[in-house]
Structure 1
Amino acid sequence: MANNVQRVELRSDWQFKQVRQGNWLPAIVPGTVHTDLMANGIIPDPFIGLNERGVQWIDKEDWIYRTAFGVDESIFSKHNVWIEFDGLDTYADVYLNDSLIIKADNMFRRWKADIRQLLKRSDNELKVYFHSPVKVDVPKWDALPYHYEAANDQSENGGLFDKKISIFARKAGYHYGWDWGPRLVTSGIWRKVSLVAWNDVRITDVYTEQPLVSKAKAKIRQTIEIFADADGMAMVQTTDHAGNNYADKKVKLEKGVNTVTLEFCINKPKLWWCNGLGKPNLYTFNVKVQKDDSSDTYTQRTGIRFIKLLTQKDEWGQEFCFELNGVRVFMKGADYIPCDNFLPRVTKSVYEKTIQDAVDVNMNMLRVWGGGIYEDDYFYELCDEKGILIWQDFMFACSLYPASGALLENIRQEAIDNVRRLRNHPCIALWCGNNECQDGWYNWGWKKRLEDQKPEYAEKVWKEYEDLFYHLLPEVVGKYHSAIAYWPSSPFGGYGHGSIETSGDYHYWAVWHAKKPISEYNNTRFRFCSEYGMQSFPEFESVKQFAPQPNDWDIYSDVMMSHQRGGMHANQLIESYLLSEYKRPKDFESLLYVGQLMQGDAMKTAIESHRREKGYCWGTLLWQINDCWPVASWATRDYYGRWKAAHYLMRNSYRDILVSPIEKDGNLQVYIVNDRLTSTSGQLSIKVLDMDGAVRNQHTKQVRVPANVSKNVFSVPVKQLLNHEQTDQVVILAEFTDREHYGNIYYLKPPKDVKFKKSAVVYQMIKVVDGYRLVISADKVARGVFLSLDGTDNFFSDNYFDLIPGAKKQVYVKTDLNEDDFRKQLKITILNNI
């Protein structure tokens, strides 16, 4: 029996206009006002040069979208026809044939309406009226005797002076600006809009719970939500992709929404594992309801796994550790923001590259940050397939919110909607209330500022905080996704105070914001470090995309400052770190290069520090993996998807075996961190090399490292190890070989104090299918070998690496350049020579 439910996406023949103007222009749906204005040549690309400044008028206007459509008989004859909007941004009135059918006020919710009685066979007119979020929310700000904190709302860039109105709208916070993003407050039909038509029965939701999971057996309980037109008997069945029956039940449906439960067992299930620990096995469940001559099928892919958050009190404070299928897992990953300010531009290929880039540097977790969006279904499907666990923030960040009355109920529906949408994804590991809001209250002065105005203001605002993050959100998670833990805030170390290093998760910003040296990472200990970072600019080829004029090639030019949302302070911090850790770069291009190397060194140092503490610390998520526009930021990949030095260096730092040398108290110690679930044995080699590559001292030993631990396997006084060599004239090469080879290069001095020699880096070139294979070598220790070509449509398999004389490095370069052009364009930069 064919499925009787039909879906038709309304993508064609859309037009839009500014309400105050008379001209209708073609529009793309899904889309935004900004992208439609760009496509029609009304505004320039806001990401280029200073163009962002000239488009701030857009969010102060009302906009209207319209389309006309007809339906064929197969739709028109159905008893039920609904229109469903997956995303409306944000204050939107929807009319069909001049009847108001939806009044939307939340970007994060899905909206639907029964349109059967309004529908015509042809010439249906659908209109969506978008109210200016500025005009809707400024009066709310004006009406209050006090104001809610919204630290990153760039109201002044939008011509609103100090009116930080982002907290009133259930809309992506980063649209109002952030310290890495522009202020581009969008409106539009940002996710698809569809007609859904059916007779008799429709499956509206399936929740697949896993109350018991072991290697021997998995118990599965499916809660199936079925909409029925009338009372009657039906058959509900779950099968696999090959049609084999898992469970079936004959049930009596009543008119309206019905809930049916099916339970079954899977013996010796193929468990879902995160990247690095095993295969992310997925099962396909086909759930079918058959009632008389009507049926509907709901297909779901999910993984069988058991994950919990361990937060026991211990002698140090409170641990914070994820356990997957009974195994404690050290989380290696990054924080994730939306990939674009104009969300419909984030294509499947962008998602695929972003997630694959995480997999390719051995990540196993991303934190979906609370100032963006609950991501597209495809994002989570990719994480399911690739074994990337997701720490999912609710959409609240770095602000306080008027969470009472209608807004609180709006948030409740938002939370229910998204928890229900995402709960079947095996990648979901945690629901977190917000990003940094609790630390803002206790540690950033928010509480005191309100108390200084009137104590009752502080009491009211804090009650709203508690109602939202201590009551409403955990209640929603407990009711709709109880198998996954809820965490009130990130960072969070307990109630009644700000975060602390010995309990829960922690955001560490003393390196960067507090100007501590990069080496300070080695003096810190956390239970789980969920944010830390170091800024860098994009590389020169990326900068030329948004700042094409040579007179803009200065980090203090108007264009570069516009693409540095940390302002003068951030640029000065970068310069300060460069001078204290490196040497002054000779020109703009060199500054970009050294800045990237600095960020890479910083992230390498931090990651290794956290991983050496494995057993006390159980996770490291750096800020951040991506950008939403071309900008100087903490991202390890720039807006164009190009890997920065930090992303390349992270690959080795996140491998399943880490060899990590560190000088402590006059001794060189070497740790081996083993993330495998089995022990390993092999040979450890420690070599002291001079800058010509000559071995000045060497130690080898056989070592055994148990499963899933960090172990100090070697320690010797530095003076003894160096054997009269100077600390600024040597490099230490630490290598471990079991079934694979693992290595790490360590310097005893910061780069500015190491006496590198001028070096010649040479290469052999071999043509391969989609580019070239280079075999690279150097006559001296070469620091930070950086390969580049013109443009951003190429990729290097490795970059910003160090070369030891005598060693040969193979790098694959993806490019369509011919051999002559490739040789002319290839540029090799090393720290030694600049």
Structure 2
Amino acid sequence: MMIRKTITSLLLLAATVVSASVSQRTLHEGWRFRQGNSEIWHPAQVPGNTHLDLMRERIIEDPFYRLNERSVQWIDKEDWMYETHFQPTAEELAASHQTLVFKGLDTYADVYLNHQRILVADNMHREWRCNVEGILKEGDNLLEVFFKSPVKMNVPKFDALPYRHNTGPDHSQMGGLFDKTISPFARTAGFEYGWDWGPRLVTFGIWRPVLLETWSGTRIADVWYIQKDVTKARAQLRTIVEVEADSAQSATIAITADGKPATTKAVALKPGLNTITLDYTLKNPRLWWTNGLGEPYLTTMKLRLTRLTPDPSLSREGSGHSQSNNRDKKLSTPLSEQRGAGGESSTRLGIRSLRLHNDKDQYGHNLYFELNGEPLYAKGSNMVPNDNFLSRVNDSIYRQVVADAAAVNMNMIRVWGGGIYEDDAFYRYCDEMGILVWQDFMFACQTYEVDSAFLANIKEEAICNVRRLRNHACMAVYAGNNEEQDVWFGWGGKKRYFEELGQADRVWKMQHSIFYEVLPEVVRLYGGGIAYRPSSPWAFEDTPSDGINGDDHYWGVWHGGEPIEAYFDHHVRFQSEYGFQSFPEYESVLRYNPDPRDHDIYSEVMMAHQNAGTYANHRIEEYMGRDYRVPKDFKRFLYVGQVLQADAVKMGMEAFRRDRPFCMGGIVWQLNDCWPVASWSSRDYYGRWKALHYVTRKAYDDILVSPRIKSSSASGDVIATPTKQVAALPTEENAKAMQQQKLHLPSEGADGKLLELKLVNDRRTPATGNLKLQAMTIDGRIVFEQTQKVKLPKNDAIDVQTWRVKDLIGDEMAENVIFYITYETGSKTYYNIAYPVRQKDMHYRKPQLTTAVTPVADGYNVSVSTDIFARAVFLKTKGINDFFADNYFDLLPGQTRTIHVRTSKPRAQFLKELETTTLGDDYETNSIQ
């Protein structure tokens, strides 16, 4: 009797289960747009934006070309209407849940379905979900999106305040708004309003996908993998699953890791949202490592939700079949086998232990990442949005950006706070290629007017993005903003704008509510243990950054006008911004400035693509005049400017790496560009590698040979021995003094100069190798040579030896000698070159370069040889599509280097176009000043 009753109950339970039917489809077809006060419709592209639509219709010219940015400033003063028609399927109409999902609306938008308003959007950084049950209808459906002008929305807010907010480089003058900097009032990417590397192009549009999402029965809404404790022996994981169900039902959740069972749990689902927690342990997991430290292995985690259904044979009462062997047998029907895959989730999870240290020590407070128990030196760059027109940044662009970072030994990218929370593809490629992400929240260089509605909007923005990104192994830390703590406490913003008006306490309370209350709470609740810092740079809650308590943005070199050598004496715990500007290479410039009449860095066209103004051009000329011979020729000026940028930032990279473990990270400003421009980037807008990106590969290698030429007065004339010495680390007091002091260029000639050599090892294992120092003349004659065996501890930097330059070069002129240092360990040789005098004083001559071109599958191998030392050899062809695997390299006398070139050009054309340039080409001509 008991058996029969149980069977009947199971059958009744099975009868209440609604079959899952989950469907998503994009609504990207048939869109059209018009200006708000016009009746003329034009075809539109979704995802996209108004500027691109206007370009396709030839209503405006490309804003990236010549001076065209100026002529499109009217667009953000207008409203814009978008609409499309679509027909739901019978299945979509029958679904019990019907939702329109807008992944991104830029920015102020009213959305109507069949003339009913379903959404008022005011934040481009959020996803918007609209329940359209009862509004979606059979047959034709009209979807309308009405974008409102942010100028019309926010100028009244600016005018209403008795003070003005601190802003970043808001180009309000370019936008025709005079001094009305309205960017702080909109939850729009700050860079759209102009920056010192970007134009003012305030955009509109449906910039991310639009989806019609329908489902019935049961669906997995979210799966969150929390890594509670991970070692190489075991990984303790917690998985939190959100399941939405139409009705009560029994089910089982099963998780596998790389196809092997991990855990199973029986659950009773109630109608509505169900949150289920599963705790389990994986033994001997394959760990995820960053680029250079190991394999960024991703474990395939699959979660399957199945409903419980009785064996049909159990219902055959009186049939004469035996039931005793089947009474406990049940069939599991995977919900994923029903339409829409509503019951299965697959996640590629990088299993790792990642901790951010900010511990007090004898110098202040350190800042470093610990990955799988090993201290990690962060080597990376800051990323801005890859295009002002964000919908153009497709999967292949994201892949190339991350691949280019990995190719030059980066292990971290900082997503800067004036842009966007990037597309899922970016974080996926960072997972796959072992690149950690320092993620700013989208606030930069400004203060904000905060009320309860603004704060609630920010909270939803933060929840949306933290939930979206939390399963990515690459996620390393969230920072509340970029530089806003320093804007307030360190740059006079508090006094200049608010104290004099008696508004300082009130405005700081607004900022505090964002960065010390809402954002850290969201990260705590939804981030799964990812670290949070209120700002970058940041030391303490009520002070500006100081570099020795947390991270630092160092701009003494460049903005401060300090000599490039000042990098060596700037001692900080973590350098999250520093950099040096250059123009794009000549072939890139031709894309937006083809007329030779405009080939002057102060021409109208070049200045339109120098968003930092004449100040930045003067800086480049000033630094170039200090250390290099300044060409009069425009094309060659661009080349020397690239060498200058590369040499300057390389010096910074080496200086901060030499300081480990006191300093444990260097993040260069910047990786990329949003439009063709003179900037601090190592890759230009078109993806062309500048000299800086090429030299980064060696400067960020796992072992660094780092020589430094310095005056003996700076070192107290103490000569180090070849044994390991721990680098002298500054106290908190004298480190502050070092940051403030102005440093001077070393004297010319060899007298009083020292060659100091350090080795840095980022590996997880020690190294032993042969170190060789050679002093050689420009024509290749060896005047000094020394070889020694050096043991290099893991995760460390050591002093090797310091020599008097005069002892190394003897009677040779310093201007005629280079120092070539190699460290050979295993099958690899690391090298670097030091110069006893500044580049402009070196006795370079035009080398006789010979090239041999050999066809290969995807292009050519170009072998380059030289008779004398060739500094910064640059190979190029016409256009921007040929990629050289190495460039701007130094070539020793008699040495041959073979460079792979990826190109589709026929051999005859390639040979005709191939050009070589070196720094010494015009040292004996009149083309210098």
Q: Name 2:685's counterpart in structure 1.
A: 639
Match of 2:670 in 1: 624
Matching residue of 1:694: 781
Could you list the runs of 5+ residues in structure 2 that have no partner in the other structure? 1-17, 309-332, 336-341, 713-752, 923-929
Q: Distance in 1 between matches of 2:802 and 2:773?
A: 11
Rounded to whole Å, the distance in 2 between the matches of 1:147 and 1:255 is: 50
1:341 matched to which residue of 2?
388
Deviates more, 1:821-830 or 1:250-259: 250-259
Q: Which residue of 2 aligns with 1:445?
A: 492
Partner residue, 1:14: 31
2:883 equivalent in structure 1: 795
The CA deviation at 1:453 is 2.9
Question: 1:2: Cα distance to partner?
Answer: 9.1
The reply on whether 1:728 has 2:815 as its aligned counterpart is yes
**What is the CA-CA distance between 1:296 and the residue it aligns to?**
2.2
From 68, 71, 84, the equivalent of 1:51 is 68
Q: 1:233-248 alignment to 2 at 5 Å?
A: 233-240=250-257, 242=259, 244-248=260-264
CA contact (8 A) 1:4 1:296 kept: no
1:813 Cα offset (Å): 1.2
Give me the whole-angstrom Cα distance separating, in 1, the residues matched to 2:814 and 2:562: 23
Structure 2: distance between partners of 1:627 and 1:640: 8
Q: Secondary structure at the match of 2:173?
A: helix
**Structure 2 residue 795 is the aligned partner of structure 1 residue 779:** no
- In the TM superposition, residue 715 of structure 1 has moved relative to its aligned partner by 2.1
Distance of 1:156 and 1:454 partners within structure 2: 25
CA displacement 1:71-105 (0-9 Å, x = unmatched): 22222221111111111111111111111111111
Cα displacement (A) at 1:237: 2.4
Q: Read off the aligned partner of 1:61 and give its amino acid letter.
A: E
The alpha carbon displacement at 1:45 in A equals 0.5
Q: How far is 1:291 from its partner? A: 4.3
State the alpha-carbon separation in 2 of the partners of residues 680 and 667 from structure 1.
26
Q: Secondary structure at the match of 1:156?
A: coil
Mapped to 1, the partners of 2:841 and 2:807 lie a distance apart of 21
Give 1:827 shift: 1.0
Aligned residue among 908, 911, 922 for 1:820: 908
Larger mean CA deviation between 230-239 and 748-757 belongs to 230-239
1:108–1:373 CA contact under 8 A, matched in 2: yes
1:676 aligns with 2:763: yes
Aligned to 1:29: 46
Match of 2:447 in 1: 400
Q: 546-555 or 354-363: which moved more?
A: 546-555
- The structural deviation recorded for 1:451 is 4.0
Question: What's the counterpart of residue 726 of structure 2?
Answer: none
Shift of residue 3, structure 1, vs aligned partner: 6.3
Q: How far apart are the structure 1 equivalents of 2:915 and 2:129? A: 55
SS at match of 2:513: helix
Give 1:482 shift.
Answer: 4.3
| Paired position in structure 2 for 1:201 | 218
- Distance of 2:184 and 2:845 partners within structure 1: 55
Task: Give runs of aligned pairs for residues 212-223 of structure 1, distance below 5 A.
Answer: 212-223=229-240
- Which residue pairs with 2:790 in the alignment? 703
- Do the aligned partners of residues 724 and 210 (structure 1) sit closer, same or farther apart at CA in structure 2, a change above 3 Å counting? same
1:129-148 paired onto structure 2 within 5 Å: 129-148=146-165
Partner of 1:584: 630
| Separation in structure 2 between the aligned mates of residue 482 and residue 351 of structure 1, nearest angstrom | 25
Q: Which amino acid aligns with 1:747?
A: Y
**Equivalent-residue separation in structure 1 for 2:836 and 2:111 (angstroms):** 65
Q: 2:268 aligns with which of 230, 247, 252?
A: 252
- Aligned position for 1:124: 141
The one of 286, 289, 297 aligned to 1:270? 286
Deviations 1:161-189 (A, max 9, x none): 11111111111000000000000000111
Q: Secondary structure at the match of 1:604?
A: helix
Contact kept in structure 1, 2:709 and 2:835, CA below 8 Å: no
The alignment partner of 2:24 has SS state of strand
Distance (Å, rounded) in 1 between the aligned partners of 2:453 and 2:303? 36
Whole-Å separation in 2 of the counterparts to 1:513 and 1:825: 38
SS in 1 for 2:365: coil
Change (3 A) 1:482 1:348: closer
Task: State the Cα deviation string for residues 645-702 of structure 1 (Å, max 9, x = none).
Answer: 0000110000001111112433312111111111100100000010101111000001
- Does the 8 Å CA contact 2:19/2:216 hold for their aligned counterparts? no
Cα deviation, 1:132-152, whole Å, max 9, x if unaligned, reads 111111111111111111131
Residue correspondence of structure 1 range 387-786 to structure 2 within 5 A: 387-455=434-502, 457-664=503-710, 665=712, 666-739=753-826, 740-786=828-874
Residue 606 of structure 1 aligns to which amino acid in structure 2? Answer: G
Which whole-Å CA distance do the structure 1 matches of 2:278 and 2:439 have between them?
28
> Which residue matches 1:227?
244
Q: Size of the alignment, in residue pairs? A: 832
Paired with 1:324 and 1:403, the residues of 2 have a C-alpha distance of: 37
1: CA distance, partners of 2:162 / 2:306 = 58
Residues 575-611 of structure 1 show CA distances to partners (whole Å, capped at 9, x for unaligned) of 1111111112130001100000000000111000111
- Over 3 Å counting, the alpha-carbon distance change for 1:541 and 1:252 in structure 2 is same
Which residue does 1:811 correspond to in 2?
A: 899
Contact 1:201/1:291, CA 8 A, preserved across alignment: no
**CA distance, structure 1, for counterparts of residue 680 and residue 598 of structure 2:** 22
The alignment partner of 1:158 has SS state of coil
* Partner Cα distance (1:198, 1:241) in 2: 29
Asked whether the equivalents of residues 200 and 291 of structure 1 are also in contact (C-alpha less than 8 Å), the reply is: no
Determine the structure 2 residue equivalent to 1:40: 57
- Separation in structure 2 between the aligned mates of residue 403 and residue 310 of structure 1, nearest angstrom: 32
Contact 1:201–1:289 under 8 Å retained in 2: no
Q: Name the aligned partner's letter for residue 855 of structure 2.
A: K
Shift of 1:220: 1.1
Tell me the distance in 2 between the aligned counterparts of 1:724 and 1:524.
34
- Following superposition, the deviation at residue 215 of structure 1 comes to 0.7
1:284 and 2:372 equivalent? no
- Structure 2 partner of 1:318: 365
Residue 254 of structure 1: how far off its partner (Å): 2.1
Give 2:167's aligned residue.
Answer: 150
